[in-house]
């Protein structure tokens, strides 16, 4: 376990955990927490025993309720742009981790918290969760790629409606929009998130990495280039020991044991 102030990293077998712990401010992300997050991501990326990462907030009120407004209020144009670019870089690291990430949304996921969740592979929400990008109400716009990821997830019109009104959406509406992957009772949220993590941890790690790469990079390519990327990654997957193990296990009617080689 590592602990950088209000950001905690733990491991439970093949499942890594990143815990945001600032309960007095509904886990709002301070600048120190934003600085600690890339180190946590790189630490888990370099640990081959970790195959899935769950991101969660302390308590039952919030996943991450946005940025620390007191710190935000001190920004000038130059520092604001630099802050946005740093935040975008951090969330790119999350999205490009090469291991599935699960945001366990136990309550508010607002502003930077919603942007962080959107950078994750899956978003599992408690039925009490609320999501939104309310920056417009502070006289600013989302700065950590929220305008870009939200439009790609829910479409242009829905993204503009949410960004320009700044309204929060309940978990059920977020599910209907495609903003979250699934909604579960609040009391079972972490059990559901860990069960999904355990299922993903049992898959072939290299195949998972290639699939994530194909989808994430392919979405920003013309279709033909995306298909070429897929074919290249398929060829790499075919060369792995895990492919041979997977096909043998299928033919022998047993569960495969993947090693990431």
Q: Which pLDDT score, from 0 to 100, does residue 18 have?
A: 96
Does position 1 have pLDDT exceeding 60, yes or no? no
182 forms beta bridges with 124
Mean pLDDT of 130-152: 95
DSSP annotation of 67 = B
Q: Tell me the C-alpha distance between 117 and 133, whole Å.
A: 12
Does position 4 have pLDDT exceeding 60, yes or no? no
Q: Do 130 and 168 contact (CB within 8 A), yes or no?
A: yes
Q: Are strands 108-110 and 62-64 parallel, antiparallel or unpaired?
A: parallel
Catalytic annotation present for 135: yes
Q: Tell me the C-alpha distance between 237 and 46, whole Å.
A: 20
Q: What domains, with CATH codes, occur in the chain?
A: 2-201 (3.90.226.10), 205-251 (1.10.12)
Q: Tell me the C-alpha distance between 94 and 83, whole Å.
A: 17
Answer with the residue of higher pLDDT: 3 or 109.
Answer: 109
Mean per-residue pLDDT over the chain, rounded: 92
The catalytic position among 115, 199, 230, 241 is 115
Does position 234 have pLDDT exceeding 90, yes or no? yes
Q: Do 4 and 36 contact (CB within 8 A), yes or no?
A: yes
Q: Which pLDDT score, from 0 to 100, does residue 76 have?
A: 74
Does position 3 have pLDDT exceeding 60, yes or no? no
pLDDT digits (tens, 9 = 90+) for 14-72: 999 999 998 888 898 888 888 899 999 999 999 999 999 999 999 888 999 877 666 66
183 forms beta bridges with 125
126 forms beta bridges with 184
| Crossing angle of helices 205-218 and 223-238, rounded to 10° | 170
The catalytic position among 10, 43, 135, 245 is 135
Q: Tell me the C-alpha distance between 41 and 200, whole Å.
A: 18
Residues 6+ apart with CB under 8 A from 234: 210
Answer with the residue of higher pLDDT: 157 or 87.
Answer: 157
Q: Tell me the C-alpha distance between 35 and 29, whole Å.
A: 10
Q: Which pLDDT score, from 0 to 100, does residue 94 have?
A: 96
Does position 81 have pLDDT exceeding 80, yes or no? yes
pLDDT digits (tens, 9 = 90+) for 92-115: 999 999 999 999 999 999 999 999
- By mean pLDDT, which of 7-21, 75-89, 223-237 is the weakest? 75-89
Of 98, 94, 77, 96, the C-alpha closest to 143 is: 77
Residues of the chain with pLDDT > 70, as a percent, come to 96
Q: Do 91 and 116 contact (CB within 8 A), yes or no?
A: yes
39 forms beta bridges with none
Q: Which pLDDT score, from 0 to 100, does residue 247 have?
A: 92
Q: Do 74 and 93 contact (CB within 8 A), yes or no?
A: no
What are the φ and ψ backbone dihedral angles of 199, each rounded to 5 degrees? -60, -45
Q: Which pLDDT score, from 0 to 100, does residue 28 have?
A: 86
């Amino acid at each position: 376990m590592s602990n950088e102030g209000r950001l905690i990293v733990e491991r439970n077998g093949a499942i890594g955990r990143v815990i945001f712990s600032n309960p007095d401010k509904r886990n709002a992300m301070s600048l120190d927490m934003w600085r600690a997050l890339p180190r946590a991501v790189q630490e888990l990326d370099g640990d081959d025993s970790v195959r899935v990462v769950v991101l969660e907030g302390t308590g039952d009120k919030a996943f991450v309720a946005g940025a620390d407004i007191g710190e935000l209020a001190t920004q000038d144009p130059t520092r604001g742009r630099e802050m946005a670019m740093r935040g975008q870089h951090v969330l790119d690291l999350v999205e490009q981790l090469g291991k599935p990430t699960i945001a366990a949304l136990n309550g508010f996921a607002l502003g930077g918290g919603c942007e962080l969740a959107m950078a994750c592979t899956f978003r599992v929400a408690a039925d009490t969760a609320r999501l939104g990008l309310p920056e417009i109400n502070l006289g600013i716009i989302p700065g950590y790629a929220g305008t870009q990821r939200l439009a790609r997830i829910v479409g242009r019109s829905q993204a503009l409606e949410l960004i320009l009104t700044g309204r929060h959406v309940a978990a059920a509406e977020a599910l209907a929009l495609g903003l979250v992957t699934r909604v579960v009772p609040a009391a079972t949220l972490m059990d559901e998130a860990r069960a999904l993590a355990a299922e993903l941890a049992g898959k072939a790690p290299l195949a998972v990495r290639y699939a994530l790469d194909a989808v994430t990079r392919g979405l920003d390519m013309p279709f033909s280039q995306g298909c070429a990327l897929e074919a290249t990654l398929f060829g790499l997957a075919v060369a792995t020991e895990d492919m041979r193990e997977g096909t043998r296990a299928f033919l022998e009617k047993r569960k495969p044991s993947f090693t990431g080689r």
